[in-house]
Structure 1
């Protein structure tokens, strides 16, 4: 494994520790192993071109022009001294390509919307950086309070821009979101940072977001967006309908067209920290977004699945090197049974889940509702008292589970389980087929491999050192290979 190093010109916090960088450019993937799933005979997962060639995600260049201090345009870093949004907007409007807009330490009260967008405080501009003095030092404090589609910082069709080194918060006071079945309490802006509508080469670095309602940082219908070194926590709602997502990467509903100008791909979410206490999902991929890299993030706790491929066709994404702890659901989930406007079911094909450390979660990795051709490879899963299963496959055709280490802590825990999928209102019901479980190391106080249902389930060369039941196959399940 290569020595970790920093990538790109401006990624001061981006130290990719699991082979995300090769050569002299930004994040690149480890090549997907061949001969694993049917989807990988063609395009590969992660940061690759359609022909499987590794690509480098470009970053906006460093400042090369004028540095503009927002206080020279009327913004006052003293909290409660009026509306500072116009001054910051004037500094952005006065900037040319290569310029940097600087926000010295202080609290900037944003009390008005942009003249060109009544639902945003600030709009990023092409080839311009917005930089604070660091999260906690520079604070953008918005007065948005539940307005539909409101965002503090928004980029619409923007290229080569950056927002770095600041905190985004709101004037919200009171309770935070905790109940995934209820809308409330809500409040604050819908989005902290929103990148949308074909934006490209955007950097969001060293940004903290809190007291928002829907998404802390969201990337939609855009590509080559890098989100790194950020912290997201404390959503005001975690209810159904899209509230309480920490970092979201989205495509367009029902659009799977790599030739489209707003095709969602080649985005990088790396080395971020999510406090999941008041987050529905820590990191979420939604709609047919593809060939993204989600790497080296830390997620502590969570209301529902921490890293969630949301059951709307997300495909060929690489999820690796993340640490997820103490979630009362799955650490990594592929497929989703929910949805109000858009009914979820299977994620897309060919996603690669590898080299993650998943500790004390109800489930380590969960694949459901017909999600196919997933590679679950070389993860470390540690069960604790709340844990039920290390790796669970329901209706998961073509899944490969190999070279994982799973350790259980009590007699109720199963390291690997293959079970029947009841579906969601008729969607995605069925059993796993054409599954390979090979080379895994299963240990601890729990149990080994349970196959309740499925066809063409192959079990090969696993090592079991468990105190409980090493192997259990229900009547009707079709299992091939030597028992452990």
Structure 2
């Protein structure tokens, strides 16, 4: 029985509903459809390259999950079975390419149903886009990825999962802007291990073993030197380990023939609080089977891990090719893993920290033995670095690299690169390019008491990337015949990521340097370097070598150094000279020495003492300069010559350019087929830019040709070939060779792989070198945005009396890189190739 009071309430609600439905301007409750975004409790993936699957949940278009290959997957767990109707997805580089994917769902993680097949991302969109699929009950949602329209990388920046809406509309929640990172308000003022408040920063105590020792033999590892894959056993031991435990490797050889289940480019993932110890570095060998075809291969990785000791073992590889000491070109035989130990930050920019690498040998790797990136309080000690498989450009052949974020000052953020230490270690050439390197705003790091022998270029390199307040001391350096013992500032690279000046107040003291082309060199505008109490002796080899060489280095202080018994022809103890800067990057860093103090130095028994060729505000006092065989002092402060008149200058566009491909020998990738493009249909053989690729055996690859026509060759004073290039996915740097080709009888309308000049028809190897193909130099493409690259081709242009100039760009290294060189067809005129002529 219904009470009278309840009947009145029901009648009132009925009148209110009628009022809402019929009064104009007031919508009914059901008129507005609200999306129901489902919570995701966990995300996993088949692999990643350091861009983690968790990054898809932060609503930040600047972070991503990435994994390379077909049928790579990312899996979202909703925690319980819910009705799912559509997805909101944002793909990395979605404005430049389309990504391919399927979607599967499951209620139990075992049986899967495909609810979206052959999905293609919306073209030209970087934001969140809705993708409909069959409405289904599901706990798990899996996105199966199959690369994109440019390459096989799969990269998703943001993922939302929604319940079906009542009317079928696909409505997306707005992305929540990422929370600003916390940044400490700190100022560092003193070099080395000094805190902002002036107190000493203590080196961390090594992680202690308080739990179990997990012997990998108990998990099935075989210490015999055979072909058995020992990685599963090592990973099983790590899986069983808890913080305070250690994984132990008895004497033996452990073959790493596979990779992490979730990362095809890494063997071992280090684990917070768990140490990895071998019996000794001379009888425990971790042998990686990674080669050049595994991009960014890592023997060990630490992504945001902490409190770890790796000790008493050798990291090596199956590489058995030829080594190279040529720093101008990448070794065609390069191999082994890209990195030995890779230490960097993890999800949410959480740094790695409190890690010790102790009594470890690292060899037969391509780029860096130990890479310390966006991390702090990492110590490398009692280590040996030797036999890098490449010492060419693009970061090859480094012993230890300490680095932050390129062109970005992260001081005060949690992943600020600081307080890392390299000590008591040996960097043994000649197959090492740089021993220890610091770059990218890394600061307050220390390199001390190490031995560097016969490195190809600067043994200790402050790499011209704004690194500051680092301390370099008590190192012994010998035999650097084509570089500096310690270099501050650097040329090279390509804008906007080109090298230039180091930061301020790097402190170099109490080092012993012998027989090196330059003991200590500071240039490119690097300011306020302190060079103190170093000993530079017994330079006998390189002619015109210098003890301390100062170019554009304002505020440098040179005091209390001993430079003695250097008898190489033309040797000078301290020399100040004009800095030409980077002649391939608009002479950035050019200038004269300024505000230089030279005091308290003892310069004795050398070929020459102090030589001042350029500069201003130079203070020289209280030095003891004696018994140098030619000149104690040479001072000739002539002003830097004024720039000569530019004369007549021409900027020539190519009359023809083309790209031929060994995989499609009848195609020219630089030429559009109008029939295929008619009616809006894309011509897959046409690109506005040149994408040059290769592989190690050189059975794949592309070669670019450019032709110019020029009158009055005999009046040419200078010819500069200018290109624009940028890196693509999974590529940080590619070096390409430039040749002048004497065969100009080709046309962009008819050129193919079969009739294009100067290469073997079954490979990209250049033929006729020195005769019909003249090597003109190399270029490095290492910028993610279009950047100018210049090559001086003056001599070749002058030699072409008919006025026809053909230039050829080819990857002779087999780097398998992915870069773009723009052609004359590119719509952006600023990126087109050109030949700059001065007459």
How far the C-alpha of 1:192 sits from its partner, in A, is 0.7
In the alignment, structure 1 residue 315 sits paired with structure 2 residue 468: yes
**In 1, Cα distance between equivalents of 2:506 and 2:491:** 18
How far the C-alpha of 1:410 sits from its partner, in A, is 3.9
Partner of 1:255: 408
Partner of 2:509: 354
* RMSD, aligned α-carbons: 1.4
How far the C-alpha of 1:276 sits from its partner, in A, is 1.9
1:420 to 563, 566, 578: 578
User: Normalization by structure 2: what TM-score?
Assistant: 0.51
Q: Is contact 2:573–2:606 with CA below 8 Å preserved after alignment?
A: no
**In 2, Cα distance between equivalents of 1:422 and 1:440:** 27
Instruction: Give the secondary structure class of the aligned counterpart of 1:470.
Output: strand
In the alignment, structure 1 residue 176 sits paired with structure 2 residue 334: no
Partner of 2:264: 118
1:93 to 239, 247, 261: 239
Greater mean alpha carbon deviation, residues 350-359 or residues 130-139: 130-139
Partner of 1:157: 304
Greater relative contact order (Cα < 8 A, sep 6+) = 1
Structure 1 gaps of 5+ residues are 1-40, 479-484
1:463 to 624, 644, 649: 624
2:520 to 350, 365, 372: 365
Cα deviation digits, residues 134-190 of structure 1 (max 9, x gap) = 112100001000211111011110010111000000001120131111112211000
**In 2, Cα distance between equivalents of 1:262 and 1:318:** 20
**In 1, Cα distance between equivalents of 2:188 and 2:603:** 32
How far the C-alpha of 1:347 sits from its partner, in A, is 0.6
**In 2, Cα distance between equivalents of 1:383 and 1:432:** 26
**In 2, Cα distance between equivalents of 1:340 and 1:136:** 41
Partner of 1:7: none
How far the C-alpha of 1:116 sits from its partner, in A, is 2.5
In the alignment, structure 1 residue 326 sits paired with structure 2 residue 479: yes
Q: How does 1:354-433 map to 2 (within 5 A)?
A: 354-387=509-542, 388-407=545-564, 408-424=566-582, 425=585, 426-433=587-594
Partner of 1:13: none
User: Normalization by structure 1: what TM-score?
Assistant: 0.89
Instruction: Give the secondary structure class of the aligned counterpart of 2:430.
Output: helix
1:228 to 378, 381, 391: 381
**In 2, Cα distance between equivalents of 1:123 and 1:42:** 33
Q: Is contact 1:209–1:232 with CA below 8 Å preserved after alignment?
A: yes
Q: Is contact 2:615–2:637 with CA below 8 Å preserved after alignment?
A: no
Q: Is contact 1:75–1:87 with CA below 8 Å preserved after alignment?
A: yes
How far the C-alpha of 1:340 sits from its partner, in A, is 4.7
How far the C-alpha of 1:346 sits from its partner, in A, is 0.5
Instruction: Give the secondary structure class of the aligned counterpart of 2:232.
Output: helix
Partner of 1:454: 615
Instruction: Give the secondary structure class of the aligned counterpart of 2:320.
Output: coil
Instruction: Give the secondary structure class of the aligned counterpart of 1:284.
Output: strand
Partner of 1:214: 367
**In 2, Cα distance between equivalents of 1:467 and 1:164:** 50
1:52 to 175, 198, 211: 198
Q: Is contact 2:418–2:444 with CA below 8 Å preserved after alignment?
A: yes
**In 1, Cα distance between equivalents of 2:197 and 2:588:** 32
Partner of 1:6: none
**In 1, Cα distance between equivalents of 2:224 and 2:549:** 52
How far the C-alpha of 1:409 sits from its partner, in A, is 1.5
**In 2, Cα distance between equivalents of 1:312 and 1:91:** 40
Larger Cα-atom Rg? 2
Give the number of equivalent residue pairs: 438
Q: Is contact 1:59–1:202 with CA below 8 Å preserved after alignment?
A: no
